[in-house]
């Protein structure tokens, strides 16, 4: 994708060297679940020496532009998901790995939310044993 710069500009983000490298990796067409740490490791392997501060800033900036979703699965790190469509996950604690569930799932028997509250979204997390 050589139009990553367009893509960033369209999202009101300056296409800096670091953002281009990170966006090229994240938005290569394969959905990913990354943490600051896993992204940093990947970038190190690609010989891209991008500071952790920038990695955090960039993940945050992409999140704020709606290019990433945040997943709160695990209290010790934040996962960012390049799949921004509404979907669910398998989670293997053992492997520390998430797998998308893109199939339509339905939740039935949901009670009414408390007074004055509206349902924003329903998240299903399927914990795997093994």
Partner DNA sequence: ATATCAGTTTAGAATCATTCTAATGTATTG
Partner DNA sequence: CAATACATTAGAATGATTCTAAACTGATAT
- Chain residues in the site for DNA (CB under 7 A): 5, 9, 13-19, 35-37, 49-54, 56-58, 60-61, 75-78
Give whichever of 10 and 74 is closer to a copy of itself, judged by the CB atom.
74
Indicate the SS3 state at residue 83: coil
Cα(12)–Cα(6) distance, rounded to whole angstroms?
10
Residue 117 CB partners (closer than 8 Å, separation 6+): none
Nearer Cβ to a copy of itself, position 24 or 92?
Answer: 92
- Cβ neighbours around 54 below 10 Å, total: 16
Q: Whose Cβ is closer to Zn ion: residue 53's or residue 85's?
A: 85
Out of a copy of itself, Zn ion, DNA, none, what residue 44 binds, judged by CB under 5 to 8 A for its kind, is none
Count of residues touching a copy of itself (by CB under 8 A): 36
Span interacting with Mn ion, options 9-17, 27-35, 56-64, 109-117, rule CB under 5 A = 56-64
**Contact flag: residue 60 with Mn ion (CB under 5 A):** yes
Residues at the contact surface with a copy of itself, assessed by CB under 8 A: 72-75, 77-78, 90, 92, 99, 101, 103-111, 113-114, 116-130
């Amino acid at each position: 994708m050589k139009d990553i710069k367009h893509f960033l500009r369209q999202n009101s983000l300056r296409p800096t060297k670091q953002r281009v490298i990170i966006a090229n990796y994240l938005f290569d067409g394969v959905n990913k679940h990354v943490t600051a740490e896993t992204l940093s490791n990947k970038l190190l392997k690609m010989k891209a020496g991008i500071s952790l501060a920038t990695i955090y800033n960039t993940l945050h900036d992409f999140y704020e532009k709606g290019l990433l979703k945040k997943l709160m699965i695990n209290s010790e790190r934040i996962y960012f998901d390049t799949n921004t469509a509404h979907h669910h996950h398998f989670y293997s604690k053992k492997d520390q790995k998430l797998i998308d569930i893109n199939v339509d799932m339905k939740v039935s028997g949901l009670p009414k939310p408390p007074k004055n509250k509206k349902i924003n979204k329903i998240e299903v997390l399927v914990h795997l044993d093994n």
